[in-house]
Amino acid sequence: MNNPLLLRRLSPAAAERLREIRAPTLVIDGGRDVSDIHKIVAKLSAEIPGAQQQVLKDCGHIVPMEDPEAFNKLLFDFLKARGR
């Protein structure tokens, strides 16, 4: 069964609208992830206004599962700095 909402294309594409994001954004990258993911992380970090990028060098793709303590610390510090 096809969902017509899933078939609809965004125009412009979401990747072309990153500069419109106004929410505080933390982008966490696993240092051992594949190069395509590093490129996506770099694009998000560069184009979302005020975005912060953090790298957990010993993690791969599933950072919260690979090093939950380090992930939680990054996340909680990011939220705390914003009064959350």
3-state per-residue secondary structure call for 4-60: HHHHCCCCCCHHHCHHHCCCCCEEEEECCCCHHHHHHHHHHHHHCCCCEEEEECCCC
Instruction: Flag whether pLDDT at 3 surpasses 80.
Output: no
How does pLDDT run across 34-78, given as a tens digit for each residue?
A: 999 999 999 999 999 999 999 999 999 999 999 999 999 999 999
Q: Give the lowest-confidence range in 7-11, 27-31, 37-41, 53-57.
A: 7-11
Instruction: Flag whether pLDDT at 10 surpasses 90.
Output: no
